[in-house]
Chains A and B, each alone.
Chain A
């Protein structure tokens, strides 16, 4: 069953992120993906996340299909103009990709090619709209295509953005543009997320709450200092600092969050950033 059917079945749906390798050796990537097979509805394949150049999300999505794992093809606005975006997105469809996640993308200054030209020819709302156009058999300029796409289109929302109203306006624009499911940025304040979900769930979209695996207190401090929009709350850091096995504690915290989500949300999106082998433990503990 695909991601769309899974989400529409009413069952709690879990997706997880897998990061492509930095290079052409796909062995570890595929091993990690195989571990997740059967435990998740789909695997998100990141698009050079944090603007660090890696093997393409399109190629890795296609590799997952060969393994019998359904990918969520992540596409950012950072590296491609509208011609390349449309071309690659149609390419993904022809390779059997069914789900796509439209993101703005981190700025190149965050990554390993700081001197690169940051493209952002379209933004994430316009990218969703562009995909909706391809789904309807039209390119961005309204020209009819020989063969259309049929993507299940997702986008990202940050329920903990501060201030929230500008984010909410953008969230609604993404829905209007054609986004059908949302994977949120990492959730830390569950009460806040419940309030967000109560409003968002009225809008005919599926929401997967984002859960980020904290591997240690050090990582939590690093994220707080370096990753835009991430604020790991103090109580989590205290828990991690007091733990003999911080990774086990991080898994426990993530499981607890997934368990909370199961009570009210459509699903969870687990981001283990390089520690994909822990995803199964998080799911089993939840």
Chain B
């Protein structure tokens, strides 16, 4: 799940640059669970904007704002199209999806800051779970991620700052490498920690990243192209 938090309302208003008719998008997926982009937050944002003299022309709460199809469908409604700006209460991917569906002349703006990809301990308790590094090392680390759980992203053991098993940077957290050590020891796999890990291959995560499992809409499949081999 993608974790988001509210931007300061004054920063949002500044980004609207005086545009008055505002349409809102929420997201029933991650942002709703974060209490940043569900029905309740859309209402709060509406009230907050109207109090400050804006007109909220309407809102859409789609199942997943990062899906182009949902954004395109909602964008057909006139209130959305004719507003001065669209404010999106979803993660950055949601904002961009709506912006790509929108008319290029219409500003689509973020109401939230996107923070991390979470594991959900329980409703309302989110912990960063994965850094999306494109080269998963969990097999060697007892499924505790040194990139994510160690603030320095160290790959070969704890730094000198570990104090009684606690992290020097986030003092309330256990050191990721002490946890890795303890878990591997329980699994009788400490040999994995004794192996020197090579430096990360950052060429695997050059941005923007993409995965294309199918052709774009309307494209001729390669197999049907003239002259293509079977």
Residues of A within 8 A of B (CB): 77-78, 82, 103-104, 106-107, 109-110, 118, 120-126, 129, 140, 156, 158, 161-163, 165-167, 169-170, 172-173, 176-177, 185, 228-231
Known contacts A163-B178, A169-B193, A229 near B154 by CB under 8 Å: no
Verify B169–A109 contact, CB threshold 8 A: yes
Q: B156 touching A170 by the CB < 8 A rule?
A: yes
Known contacts A118-B152, A125-B157; decide if A161 and B199 are in contact (CB<8 Å): no
Tell me the nearest residue of chain A to B194, going by C-beta: A169
CA distance A167 to B160 in the complex (A): 8
By beta carbon, the residue of chain A nearest B160 is A158
Alpha-carbon distance A150/B199, docked complex (angstroms):
23
Please state if B154 and A161 are interface contacts (CB–CB under 8 Å).
no
**Given the contacts A163-B165, A163-B178, A125 and B196 also touching, CB distance less than 8 Å:** yes
Could you tell me the distance between the alpha carbons of A118 and B168 in the complex, rounded to whole angstroms?
Answer: 14
Contact B178 A169 (CB under 8 A): no
Question: Which positions 142-157 of chain B face chain A at CB distance < 8 Å?
Answer: 151-157
* Residues in chain B near residue A140, CB distance under 8 A: 199
Interface size class of B (residues with CB under 8 A): 20 to 34
Report the number of A-B residue pairs with Cβ-Cβ less than 8 Å: 101
In the complex the two chains form, what is the Cα distance from A179 to B218 in whole Å? 60
Interface residue B202 (Cβ < 8 Å from any Cβ of A): yes
Tell yes or no: B7 within 8 A of A by CB.
no
- A228 to B168 Cα, complex, angstroms: 5
- Are B158 and A170 touching (Cβ within 8 A)? yes
B152 contact from A104, A161, A185, A231, Cβ within 8 A: A104
Interface residue? B161 (CB, 8 A): yes
Q: List 20 A-B contacts (CB under 8 A).
A: A77-B152, A107-B161, A110-B168, A118-B151, A121-B200, A123-B152, A123-B155, A123-B156, A125-B156, A126-B196, A129-B196, A140-B199, A162-B162, A162-B163, A165-B181, A166-B181, A167-B162, A169-B157, A173-B157, A229-B168
The residue among B155, B158, B160 with the most chain A CB atoms within 10 A of its own CB is B160
B159 close to A104 (CB less than 8 A): yes
Judge whether A126 and B199 touch: CB under 8 Å.
Answer: yes
Name the distance in Å between B202's Cβ and chain A's nearest Cβ: 7
| Partner among A118, A120, A161, A177 whose Cβ is within 8 Å of the Cβ of B196 | A177
